[in-house]
Amino acid sequence: MQMKPYRIGTRGSPLALAQAHETRSRLMAAHGLPEDAFEIVVLSSKGDRITDRPLSEIGGKGLFTEELEEQLSDGRLDLAVHSSKDMATKLPEGLGIVAYLEREDPRDAFISPAAPRLADLPQNAIVGSSSLRRQALIRRLRPDISVIMFRGLVDTRLRKLADGEAHATLLAYAGLKRLGKTEVVTELLDPESFPPAPGQGAICIEARLGDERIAELLAPIDHAQTHAALLCERAFLGSLDGSCRTPIAGHATLSGDQISFFGMILTPDGTVSHEVRMTGAASDASALGAAAGAEARGQAGPGFFDSWT
């Protein structure tokens, strides 16, 4: 008897579709299944439809996942593929991130026809970015720069740049690699001075908790090192109540059974920042991330977070 195909939910952007197709290809290879064993279901998210305002004004990260999670919860989807950095730290009851594909390069890419490096932009240059983290880091490095909002698909942002709306923009290098657009990159930013968003570069797969059939399907494509790194980064984010309203950077790396974490919190204007570094056992990834968040919060003091509201 023919089994119904597994239903993979995704947003409809070119990057989201590339990530869904990569997930399907990995599942086909892992289980020796044909393409028609999977159906890719494209849903429009509120975050994709509303592009004229910052995410912080319209509800945050959940706007990219709400429709997918609704259909996961009621069984219309078997799994949903997301960019990890788009995921809220608190997921709907009964859902969880079950697997992570191996992480791509997590760095930010600087793209500009006006300068070879971010540091070389002309005085009082304009940079387009909708990310509060990127905005704060840019202002930290270059207080003279004006940052304007750039939202929309990758091609939309590149077109705005080509049309002269800004001197430069920043995008995740991983997304550009997945779209085959690395030729637009002017500079890859050093993660020490310009640390990435927690989860940047990693594809995650959300499913119903307790659904053993789907857990067994996903187990072979879950990348253990990426999973541990993301547990750490998301715990850091969660301990700081991180959302699209907050400038938070965090990056975990693994070496053998050890995990190293570097995190940063900033005021939105970039004038004040606090860094934290921790190393521990990879098996304690979540606890390490939470401890790093508590350390950052302690360094900052209560008044620091007033600027985040």
Rounded CA separation 108/86 (Å) = 15
Categorize the per-residue pLDDT at 65 as very low, low, confident or very high, splitting at 50, 70 and 90.
Answer: confident
Q: Report pTM.
A: 0.91
Please report how many Cα atoms fall inside a 13 Å half-sphere around the Cα of residue 283, on the Cβ side. Answer: 1
Q: Which of 86, 120, 163, 284 is catalytic?
A: 86
Instruction: Tell me the domains of the chain and their CATH numbers.
Output: 1-102+202-222 (3.40.190.10), 108-188 (3.40.190.10), 224-309 (3.30.160.40)
pLDDT digits (tens, 9 = 90+) for 233-260: 999 999 997 555 689 999 999 999 999 9
pLDDT on residue 1:
43
Rounded CA separation 92/79 (Å) = 14
**Count of CB atoms situated within 10 Å of the CB of 231:** 21
In this structure, the strands spanning 79-83 and 203-208 are: antiparallel
Query: Which residues, at least 6 apart from 306, have a Cβ–Cβ distance to it below 8 Å?
Result: none
| AA identity, residue 126 | I
Rounded CA separation 118/107 (Å) = 14
Categorize the per-residue pLDDT at 46 as very low, low, confident or very high, splitting at 50, 70 and 90.
Answer: low
With pLDDT > 70 as the criterion, what percentage of the chain qualifies? 91
pLDDT digits (tens, 9 = 90+) for 107-155: 999 999 999 999 999 999 999 998 999 999 999 999 999 999 987 889 9
Encoding tokens for residue 75? 């069984």
**Count of CB atoms situated within 10 Å of the CB of 248:** 24
User: Is residue 306 annotated as part of the catalytic site, yes or no?
Assistant: no
- 148 phi, psi to nearest 5 deg: -115, 160
Mean pLDDT calculated for residue range 270-281: 96
Categorize the per-residue pLDDT at 302 as very low, low, confident or very high, splitting at 50, 70 and 90.
Answer: confident
